[in-house]
Amino acid sequence: MSITAGSYTLGPDSGRLLVKTTRTGLGAKAGHDLTLEVTRWRADATIDTTAPVHSSVAVEVDADSIEVREGTGGLKPLTSSDRSEIERIIREKILHTDRHPTITFRSTRVEGAEESFRLEGDLTLVGVTRPVIVQGSVTGGRVHGSAVIEQSRWGIKPYSALLGALKLSDDVQVEFDLDLGLVAKQ
């Protein structure tokens, strides 16, 4: 299945939007590498298959909708209490969702083909807008892609605990996986 030219509306019903963190520091073995999922988001994509440069993507994320899906590594498994605490820290201390309830991405350039495409665009996170690059592909009727977000570029200090011995890495991986059969074409 390939992409048909046109306008599309995407969201949680059409696929997953994940954020993956890793840990660093002397106390790294005590923490967890996390997989977080954005549960409320919307994307509008306009696809021009003959001239990809005329394509565009706009994504809007409800910053309060990030939920912990998995924690790997660590000395003990994540509890539901741990998950709730991590989600609270993300909302209150990292993303400050009371002041910045929305995260947005707007493409400024699209290039490539289904096998390998590249989106350049502006990501607004905690009220700061910086350029970011998204790499992706379409295979087997699914659109996959990812971007590396260096938190400090947006003024975010990566979370740390145990007097700084346990820290999240500055780079987080944002990934998406969409089923084209579930995408609403307008």
Give the CATH number, domain containing residue 154.
2.40.128.110
Maximum mean pLDDT: which of 5-9, 102-106, 112-116? 102-106
Q: Is residue 85 a part of any domain in this protein?
A: yes
Q: What order of strands is seen across the sheet that includes strand 23-24? A: 23-24, 166-168, 160-161
Q: Residues with Cβ < 8 Å from 163, sequence gap 6 or more?
A: none
Q: Is residue 179 a part of any domain in this protein?
A: yes
Q: Is residue 149 a part of any domain in this protein?
A: yes
Q: Is residue 1 a part of any domain in this protein?
A: no
Flag the least confident range among 5-9, 72-76, 153-157, 179-183: 179-183
Split at pLDDT 50, 70, 90, the class of 184 is low
**16, 33, 128, 176, 179 from 95: Cα distances, Å:** 20, 18, 11, 20, 29
Tally the domains of the chain.
1
Structure tokens at 59: 């994504």
Give the C-alpha separation, 38 to 155, whole Å: 21
Give the C-alpha separation, 78 to 87, whole Å: 12
Q: What is the pLDDT of residues 30-39, one digit of tens each?
A: 778 999 999 9
**pTM (2 decimals)?**
0.91
Report the SS3 class of residue 6.
strand
Q: Is the pLDDT of residue 27 over 80?
A: no
Mean pLDDT within 72-86: 90
Q: What is the pLDDT, as a whole number, of residue 151?
A: 96
Which of 182, 181, 165, 176 lies closest to 24, judged by CA?
165
Residue 133's domain spans which residues? Answer: 6-185
Mean pLDDT within 32-52: 93
Which of 102, 92, 103, 74 lies closest to 166, judged by CA?
74
Q: Is residue 30 a part of any domain in this protein?
A: yes
Q: What is the pLDDT of residues 136-175, one digit of tens each?
A: 998 877 899 999 999 999 999 988 776 555 678 999 999 9
